[in-house]
A and B are shown apart, each in its own frame.
Chain A
Amino acid sequence: DAKTTQPTSMDCAEGRAANLPCNHSTISGNEYVYWYRQIHSQGPQYIIHGLKNNETNEMASLIITEDRKSSTLILPHATLRDTAVYYCIVRVLNFGNEKLTFGTGTRLTIIP
């Protein structure tokens, strides 16, 4: 699975859009980009994933660049409950590749 690079920490004002970047310059054509978050001491929570196209769900939007070397997770109206560590993960989807590798992620703090 390709390596990802994320900023260690970020702040965002409550009510504003939080934009979390992720670099994955060695991504291959069959690797998906996943985002999870972990709110203090809880189990990680799945947010969204995508392959090529931008994706949106009730939690967030995922913007993947055309060359797929980077992506941005967007939380449109951040609330205090969005304070968490956010993990960007790149992996191939195939039987036998069960390892979901979590790096150290980005610690997002929402400021009141």
Chain B
Amino acid sequence: NAGVTQTPKFRVLKTGQSMTLLCAQDMNHEYMYWYRQDPGMGLRLIHYSVGEGTTAKGEVPDGYNVSRLKKQNFLLGLESAAPSQTSVYFCASSLTSSGLYGYTFGSGTRLTVV
């Protein structure tokens, strides 16, 4: 049981390049989330999904797009990367909408935009 798997683990992009971060969970969770964490700060919610085919904006959605075509996968896209998007990105999933049983997080993707 892998839990939540994020790929890639590390990436360096040039300004203006695009990329997609993949999050996969094998727990049959309905709800999935993308967070970013900047040095010395807590996590901030980018986008989330309450089920297959649905997405919604979080706290800091600008510059990102997401898709949830399959229940087990949640993709985060950067269409034109900017240095301000240098961060560690965490994906999470939860069984219920309220996260009553806790969120399961992936190990993170460290992205540097130069």
- Residue numbers of A with Cβ under 8 A of B are 34, 36, 41-46, 49, 87, 93-105
What residues of A have a CB within 8 angstroms of the CB of B41 in the complex? 104
The residue from B31, B97, B103 contacting A44, defined by CB atoms under 8 A apart:
B103
Enumerate chain A residues within 8 angstroms of B48, measured Cβ to Cβ: 98
Q: Is the interface of B mostly helix, strand, loop or mixed?
A: loop
6 further contact pairs, Cβ within 8 A, besides A95-B97, A98-B48, A99-B45: A36-B102, A46-B103, A93-B99, A94-B98, A98-B31, A98-B50
**Contact bitstring B26-70, A, C-beta under 8 A = 1, else 0:** 000001010000001111010010100000101100000000000
What B residues does A99 contact at CB under 8 A? 45, 58-59
**CA–CA, A97 to B59, complex, Å?**
12
CA distance A41 to B100 in the complex (A): 24
